[in-house]
Chains A and B, each alone.
Chain A
Amino acid sequence: MSKNIIEIKNLHASVEDTKIIKGLNLKINVGEKHTIMGPNGSGKSTLANVLAGNPSYTVDSGEIIFMGQDLDEMEPDIRACIGLFLAFQYPVELPGVRMWQFLKSSLDAKREYNGQEPLSTREFDNLLNEYAEKVGISQDFIKRNVNEGFSGGEKKRNEILQLSLLNPKLAILDETDSGLDIDALKVVSQGIDSFSSNENSVLLVTHYQRILNYIQPDFVHVMMDGNIVTSGDKSLALELEEKGYDWLSTK
């Protein structure tokens, strides 16, 4: 019997008094990879932000149970520390904040929360170098400020670097594949692939089918107007690629 990592029950959520998520249900088991597809503006990023606890979004009703805990009222940093990770669609720049310091502080915070000693500088550097190389981020980037002056592709690689480093239980990836050239797409896909395991789960938000050439999802969901309108396996993605979304809205 598989254990679920997250269960979303009848979720209603809004931004600035506009209802965006309308009664959404979703369950992800440990070790599963799920994909959410859907047209622009259907509420995918809103869902990702609500799960991660972005205070700009309001949960109106419903429940989110993550690792057996109700996320209601739980601070975003605590969600992160217990194993929820969001790769942002638009990672923000932090002027003057060095990558190294940011990454080390993140990992230290998570380790501290979970009762572990912080890594020594050397241990951390070894880990960081290993992952940075995998996602094709050079030493120079580690010395730079977080996302400052990074190209779109570099920002996405940086998100994957953080994913590898923090090794969460659930990775929510918001359009991490969009805007990438084919090389970057491969690197990012490999990063996601090597993260996902029997113990970790993935929720991949995308509106392109092409990343599914690299990542094999167990489930594909289609989101429209704030709700999941249909779910299936990988063949659903191919069907969407052929027919678009319109046939679903009339269903």
Chain B
Amino acid sequence: MNNDKNVISRDTKLEDDNYKWGFDFQFNADNAPIGLSEDIVKLISSKKNEPEWLLDWRLKSLNHFFKNQDNEPEWANIDFPKIDFQKIRYYSSPTDKPNPKSLDEVDPEMLEAFTKLGIPLEEQKKLSGVAVDAIMDSVSVATTYQKQLEDAGVIFCPISEAVHKYPELVQKYMGSVVPYSDNFYATLNSAVFTDGSFIYVPPGVRCPVELMTYFRINELDTGQFERTLIIADKGSYVSYLEGCTAPFRKNNQLHAAVVELVALDDAEIKYSTLQNWFPGDTNGEGGVYNFVTKRGKCQGKNSKISWTQVETGSAITWKYPSVLLQGDNSVGEFYSVALVNNYQQADTGTKMIHIGKNTKSTIIAKGISAGKATNTYRGQVKVLPTAKNARNFTQCDSLLIGDKCGAHTIPYIEVKNPTAQLEHEATTSKVSDDQLFYTQQRGISLEDANYMIINGFCKGIFKELPFEFAIEASQLLRVSLEGTVG
């Protein structure tokens, strides 16, 4: 069936190891010196030839960051040594000639590298349905499918390019959903962000292909601070997906992205994430700190934003893709599978802020814990006085594999309008020995039985993903589950 249509399969069969994406590429990299300072910010800005206003904004953010440097948030249910922000490299470009104009200009070695990762950019030209932007460390490597998108009037390009080509759009919307002062990591990102994707879908346009960005951290000691901005103009629709991997590293790598979505009247944005950053080894060494701010604003009436995430990677995941339901009748959705194994920690969930009338939100969060890992769902539903007839449905299910892992559910609810209707359900279950034995008795191996049962647990989420990625997600789950039974 469609299983062998490996659109972005990353099963590279390199080593017989659980993390199959851990190899390292040797490129000539153009690295900034390690450390954080005004000079570094200026260097990043000048590398990208940025206009004055953007440099000013970066410097303002940096100032704010330095002023609040001692106020690193501590409320999350995660545990990690203090990060020394002076020991991180804030800019690394993996090639001598950044910003290629088309695939033909892309370094052949880079193309080969992505093919090795299972993302054959060359073939993307032929495949129908997905346009890919690949980002290695700080720089966008290639964006495919440009012609078809141009015909539809859809802009899909690296944000560094959008700054030059569409400055009004970028200036108008960047920071409009996540202000530079929003939180510790968002502030840092605002100062040093390097690249990311920019999407604009014009009024009434249904984006003809799925858009995808593929992120990879490659260089040692490099932080990844990408910034993504998606604007769906009136009556438009776009479905976007991001995938992420990183090589094996003994040290932790920091990933602090900011994603902003804006949906105007009657527009819909579907945002899917397959997050598979290096989770650290089985002893808990290394791995990516994934501290990300993702927020969407349903600015217009009848608009809709839905977040679907499958989180299997990272040593620590700390993120709450949220929706500000500002327009009347707007809809926010959050569908999540977060799997933690070995020593991984995840504190993730969502915030749904109801502002407009008749706004509706749905939260379905599935947490899977194995090994010695902890998984926390943290969610907030807030109904402001203006949000007449707001509705929320929340369902949090936790699944435990073995008895050394943990699961926590922390819902915050704040209702300031008496017409609101909220429902909350939560369950905790285990993959039982009886279920495993029953399945095995039908000829299915223990690993497959475990996978089948867990896949069943996640089913409601996977169906929210674009079809190819649903297959991809369940493959990812399978790999992440290796060794959790038997």
A52 interface contact, C-beta 8 A: yes
Q: State which of B437, B448, B458 has its C-beta within 8 Å of the C-beta of A96.
A: B458
- Report B427-457 residues with CB < 8 Å from chain A CB: 432-435, 437-446, 448-449, 452-453, 455-457
Q: How far is the CA of A101 from the CA of B452 in the complex (A)?
A: 9
**Closest B-chain residue to A121, C-beta based?**
B1
Assembled-state Cα–Cα distance A91/B442 (Å): 12
How far in angstroms is the closest Cβ of chain B from A249?
Answer: 31
CB-defined contacts of A109 to chain B, threshold 8 Å: 442-445, 448
A96:B438 contact, CB within 8 angstroms:
no
B457 touching A76 by the CB < 8 A rule? Answer: no
Minimum CB–CB distance from B440 to chain A (whole Å) comes to: 4
Q: B459 interface residue, CB < 8 Å from A?
A: yes
Asked if B443 and A166 sit within 8 Å, CB to CB, the answer is: yes
Q: A102-B452, A106-B443, A109-B448 are in contact. Are A54 and B437 (CB under 8 A)?
A: yes
Proximity bits, A161-173, B CB within 8 Å = 1, else 0: 0100010000000
A55 at the binding interface (Cβ < 8 Å): yes
Any B CB within 8 A of the CB of A63: no
Would A52 and B441 be within 8 Å (CB), given that A75-B446, A109-B448 are in contact?
yes
- Indicate if the CB atoms of B453 and A75 lie closer than 8 Å: no
Distance, CA A91 to CA B457, complexed state (A): 18
**Contact between chains at B435 and A166 (CB < 8 Å):** no
A97–B448 alpha-carbon span in the complex (Å): 12
In the complex the two chains form, is A77's CB within 8 Å of B435's CB?
no
Stretch of A21-29, A80-88, A132-140 at the chain-chain interface: A80-88
* Residues in A140-168 with C-beta less than 8 Å from chain B: 145, 162, 166
- Please determine whether A86 and B441 come into contact, CB atoms closer than 8 angstroms: yes
Cβ contacts under 8 Å, B455 to chain A = 96-97
- Across the interface, which residues of B come within 8 angstroms of A55, CB to CB? 433, 437
Check B442 against A102 for contact (C-beta < 8 Å).
yes
Which of B438, B441, B453, B460 gathers the greatest number of chain A CB atoms within 10 Å?
A: B441
Verify A92–B440 contact, CB threshold 8 A.
no
CA distance A228 to B157 in the complex (A): 76
A34 within 8 A of B: no
Q: Which of B1, B446, B453 contacts A94 (CB 8 A)?
A: B453
Report the separation of the CA atoms of residues A126 and B74 in the bound assembly, to the nearest whole angstrom. Answer: 59
Q: Are A97 and B443 in contact (CB under 8 A)?
A: no
Smallest Cβ-Cβ distance to A110: which chain B residue: B443
Task: Please tell me if A230 contacts chain B, counting CB pairs below 8 Å.
Answer: no
Contact with B along A61-80 (1 / 0, CB 8 A): 00000000000000111011
Cβ contact within 8 Å between B446 and A145: no
A77-B444 contact in complex given A55-B437, A92-B438, A102-B452, C-beta closer than 8 Å: yes
Q: Which listed residue (A56, A86, A92) contacts B435, Cβ 8 A?
A: A92
Given the known interface contacts A102-B442, A110-B443, A162-B442, the answer about A97 and B437 at a Cβ–Cβ threshold of 8 Å is: no
Whose C-beta in chain A lies nearest to the C-beta of B462?
Answer: A96
Given contacts A55-B433, A94-B439, contact A105 B453 (CB under 8 A): no
Complex contacts, B448 vs chain A, CB 8 Å: 105, 109
**Complex contact B438–A105 (CB within 8 A):** no
A90 nearest CB neighbor, chain B only: B434
**CB pair A96 B459 closer than 8 Å:** yes
Q: Is A95 an interface residue (CB 8 A)?
A: yes
B438 x A88 contact (CB < 8 A)? yes
Would A75 and B440 count as touching, CB distance under 8 A? yes
Name the B residues within 8 Å of A77 (CB-CB): 440-446, 449
Name the B residues within 8 Å of A54 (CB-CB). 437
Which chain B positions have C-beta within 8 A of A107?
A: 443
Q: A residues near B, CB below 8 A? A: 52-56, 75-77, 79-81, 85-86, 88, 91-92, 94-97, 101-102, 105-107, 109-110, 113, 121, 145, 162, 166
Q: 11 A-B Cβ contacts within 8 A?
A: A75-B440, A76-B441, A79-B441, A80-B441, A94-B435, A97-B452, A97-B456, A101-B452, A109-B443, A162-B442, A166-B443
The 9 closest A-B pairs by CB, nearest first: A96-B456, A97-B456, A106-B442, A109-B443, A80-B443, A96-B459, A76-B440, A110-B443, A77-B440
Known contacts A56-B437, A77-B445, A96-B456; 16 additional CB pairs below 8 A are A52-B441, A75-B445, A77-B440, A77-B443, A77-B446, A77-B449, A80-B442, A81-B443, A91-B438, A94-B439, A96-B453, A97-B455, A105-B452, A109-B445, A162-B442, A166-B443
